[in-house]
Structure 1
Amino acid sequence: MTLDGDSLVGYLRAEYAASGKWRVASFFVGLIVALPAVASVVTNDAQTLYFLAVANLVLLAIWTWINVKYGQKQNAAHSARRAALIVNGLGEELSAGEKRRLMEKFTVGVEAAENAKKSDYYASASEPGPLKLLECLEESAFYSSKLHRVSANAWIGIVVAYAVAFAIVAVFLIPSATNDVLMMAVRIFFAATVFILSADVLGSLLAHWRCSAETSAVLSRIEIAKQGEVNSADALLIMEDYTSAIQSAPEIVPFVYRTQEASLNSLWAGYLKG
């Protein structure tokens, strides 16, 4: 499989799909990692506490390994995205050395990338050059700003669901609870809150919000740049800022694109019409 524009799109789509799956695994294992800490507040038995400590260590090791794999796949996806933008936008071919470096970095197989190819991934019909690169960036920034905003809202839903669940428990528990039961409930709440305040939840929420705002700003800059003569320096600088915004954010919440695809495509069609 040659690394032309369509092939790179196949790799970026396949790599992002794989990255999303590992992010889901990271989230759920991260949730499970918090369970031994929660369970430790309800027992004083030394043997049970020892077992919980061992379980916590094993789960933490698994979570770390998953996050390493997630990082590798996300980095591969980012590399494919950068290369796809440049090759499709400027219409130039990568050198043999850069192709080899990319192939060594990719984590998905050739067949997966082939199946993920999409010839109309970028809507621009302009001739290869700075303008087409900007138009490819414009489309990417449009979808990114919307998807990261929806992803932030999804994390808000998780935090709200946690708060509602605790509130419901409190409503039923407090009226008839003894002081010891209430104190234990508070300890459990504090232990579980460690997970909510970790980078996997609150940090991800803030990162999605930030990415949505930054890619929206990139979109505005592209609109202004297209009003005049587009040069390579401006196009590459805007691409660098878009890249910085995307790479500082986690993968969009899995299934968000699938559920929002029709709506976003309609919004994009309206955007193109002005």
Structure 2
Amino acid sequence: MKRIIYISTLFVIVLTSCTTVKLAVPEQFSSQSTSMHVKGLNGWMVNQKLSFGNYYTSAVKRGWNVSSTGTDRPSGVTTEDRLLKMFNVEKSNVTLNQKNKYQFTVQDGNQSAEVFCIEKVTKEQLVVKTNTWWGDTHQTKNYQYSFSAAILPLKVKEDAPWQLVLYNNYDRNKDTAHHFFDLPYLEEEGYITNGTETIHIKPLRIQQFVRKDGREAKFPVRMMSGYELRIDDGVVGIIDSFDNNIWMYNELDSDTKLLLAAVSSALMLRKIQDTIH
């Protein structure tokens, strides 16, 4: 795998029309890279296939998207619970579990790789039922999202499989967000490794954007807009989740490009939102 040295500069979001939002990739990277628009993410999901550049996937085979919700058994009735009950207010702790899995093959006409994916989320919430026109309120106490994938290059010479891991964890007791527009504190990490080499996955959250008239402005909070794929301190790929584009550094070898195509496809095909809301 060829090492790339490139230090990321400022990313911004560009509003190109009333409905189009795209990530403005720094010229230092875009001038040495190729942008590919991903087709197949929207519309009919049966026999879904993706295509971008000279890459294309087989029909995505999905398992059941399984969800379950359970109310935690209270450890005891507190004075607060008794007072709330007097006003017909009920408080309970609810745990939501969700799991999704899918698999596909990605190829470029010469090489191919099998990709097996699974994502899970567990969310613990405090639910307060007021039994009035105010409705119910929900407060997230803990949240864990994990995504993993096994990527197996199909070659005559057997290569070690690649493992993709992406997760984030939210614990309200550790949250440092104190203002309305503060983002919650998340513990997060993402990487792809074959045991010898590692590519890091860095979430891109953008607050600054450019209006249609060219003026700069800011969103109230940083918006999740995609991912950087990094080798050491160098960016080798960018996933633009706003405009469904994938950028790849031109000087990569074909094996690494196929790996980035598999990683990008796997991340874009997820069905569970990795957010605490």
**Interval of TM-score (by shorter of Structure 1 and Structure 2):** under 0.3
TM-score, length-normalised on structure 2?
A: 0.24
TM-score, length-normalised on structure 1?
A: 0.24
Tell me which protein shows more helix as a share of its residues: 1
From the CA coordinates, give the structure whose radius of gyration is larger.
1
Tell me which protein shows more strand as a share of its residues: 2
